[in-house]
Amino acid sequence: MTTYESKTADEVGEYFDDRSWLFGLNGFNLHIGYFDDAHPGTDPKERHTEVMIEAAGLRAGSRLLDVGCGFGRPAIAAAKATGARVVGINVSAEQVRQGRALAAEAGVADLVSFEQADGMALPYPDASFDAVWASEAIMYMSDRPKALREIERVLVPGGRFVLSDYAERTELTPEQRVSLKEGFTVEALPTIEGYRELLTDAGLEIVRFEDATAHLHRSAARIPEVLDEKYAYIAERGGKEFADEFKAMLSKVGMLEGQVLGYVIAVGRKTGELAG
């Protein structure tokens, strides 16, 4: 069986700390878009967050844990839309800092908090949250089964876990694995069906499972436009050599996203009855 190198939580945190200014170019909202033709006027990235809010079943007073929260815009959107109390965790100290600032700016600092924590060792008691979600976060975990067992542990009985993440659809070539590592810090991802197995092995009952690869392809098609739009700023901030290297790397990532990788949205329910 082939094994692949994975970065530690601290190494992933350093990676995102170093590149926070780059991810900020995308409006501090890191995940792919959800292209819903029934909501043509909604930005696809915002629609992605709405889909997760709906899937989590949030309401006023719900307790949500956002694992790998990025800069916190989805967490903030969840609190504003539902009145839920949200804790966002991240291994990047810089993204936690910016998340706190964004929550204060949005006027929801009383509902949303951000903490630096490792998703594979959650610092919360059993049954602490009514819902947990992880958008493009499990992919970075060096021990994904452990991370999902931790998520199941902190959910209340009947609580929901919402997953949206990248997957492998076919065996990658060695060159494609190099591009995957350059773009995402990991050399391998679960398959789409592999995520189903990971969720059930963690003790979660699957209540929704969507192959959302078409949304990934549509997001990937936008990468050249974004690169052209932001190139001058990246060159000014990081230098032309860095900008050219970043453009080449992101072009390879776009090829992976548009032709090779898949995407899954899934909801797992912790067994037992939901309190209240």
Burial class (CB in 10 A: 0-12, 13-18, 19+), 4: exposed
In the set 136, 150, 152, 257, the catalytic residue is: 136
218, 40 in Cβ contact below 8 A? no
Long-range contacts of 238-247 (CB under 8 A, 24+ apart): 246/22
Which stretch of DSSP H or E encloses residue 99?
Answer: helix 93-106
CB 166 within 8 A of CB 262: yes
Cβ burial, residue 188 (10 Å; 0-12/13-18/19+): middle
Report yes or no: 13 and 92 within 8 Å, Cβ to Cβ.
yes
Contacts of 107 (CB under 8 A, 6+ apart): none
Residue found under tokens 């949030």? 58
Q: What would you measure as the largest C-alpha separation in the chain, in angstroms?
A: 57
Cα 235 to Cα 233: distance, rounded to the nearest angstrom? 5
Active site residue 136: yes
Catalytic residue annotation: 136
